[in-house]
Amino acid sequence: MVMQEIFITFEGGEGAGKTTQIQLLRDHLLDCGLNVIAVRDPGGTAVAEQIRQMVKSNANADIYVRTEALLYLAARCEMVNKLIRPHLSAGRIVLCDRFADSTIAYQGFANELDLEDLEQIGNFATGNLTPTLTFYLKIDPKEGLGRKTAQQDLDRVENKGLGYHKKVQAGFEYLAAKNPRRIVTIDATLGVDEIHQIIIRHTNKIMEV
Ligand code: TMP
């Protein structure tokens, strides 16, 4: 019997509420008796968590854009090969906070690196792993950054200003239009439970396949 691998990613600009929704979905799936793990990109392994600190640090504000892209991809390569693939092979559902779409939106659209280059080196890093389903939590960048500012000090990426984050949003819009079967766009200003119910509905659909 071939087991269906279920790899679900959550994408969106800053302050969209991805982390809350991942926790809710993970808890819901666990309550249903399913085997599920949640990871974050960049992160999840010792090396990838060190890269996460590096790319988030305001001390690295002047990092060269290609170096930055390679760091995100190096972290993803670690996470995919050491964590995601083994869990998928073991039949677990994997939920991931950000993935390759973030690289296209942030490094491609906002930092203006070539999209084809990013796709190519991205595929090298992940071995062409593509999510089964992606939830794009759509938020106006001004509102999202406002939410973040109210919660904590801003990190290097959050500090880049509204113009940058508008380009990131344009990137996610482009990806959602290009991949309508994989990417479900959800209005992130809806209530937390309303969003959670939409997410459950779409998750149930792919599990029935
Ligand atoms: P977050 O997951 O807590 O939002 O932090 C990750 C930050 O890194 C966020 O500002 C988006 C940014 N990022 C990229 O620029 N490119 C990427 O490929 C990924 C995964 C994240």
Query: Of all residues in the chain, what percent carry a pLDDT higher than 90?
Result: 96
Distance 2 CA to ligand 1 centre (A): 33
Average pLDDT over residues 21-47: 98
Q: Which atom of ligand 1 is nearest to the CA of 100?
A: 18
Give the separation between CA 5 and CA 1, rounded to whole angstroms: 12
Average pLDDT over residues 86-101: 98
* Encoded tokens for 163: 């113009």
The Cβ-side half-sphere exposure at 180, using a 13 Å CA radius, reads 1
Average pLDDT over residues 177-201: 98
Give the separation between CA 203 and CA 24, rounded to whole angstroms: 13
Query: Of all residues in the chain, what percent carry a pLDDT higher than 70?
Result: 98
Nearest 5°: the CA angle 135, 136, 138 is 140
Nearest CA to ligand 1 atom 19: 102
CA distances from 133 to 1, 12, 75, 180 (A): 22, 14, 21, 10
What lies within 8 Å, CB to CB, of 66 at 6+ separation is 113
Distance 12 CA to ligand 1 centre (A): 10
- Kind of pairing between the strands at 133-138 and 7-12: parallel
Q: Is the CB of 72 under 6 A from ligand 1?
A: yes
Please tell me what DSSP assigns to residue 103: I
Q: What is the pLDDT of residue 4?
A: 84
Average pLDDT over residues 164-173: 98
Asked whether the predicted pLDDT for residue 100 surpasses 80, the reply is yes
E strand segments, 41-177: 93-97, 133-138
Average pLDDT over residues 141-167: 94
* Encoded tokens for 135: 């939830």
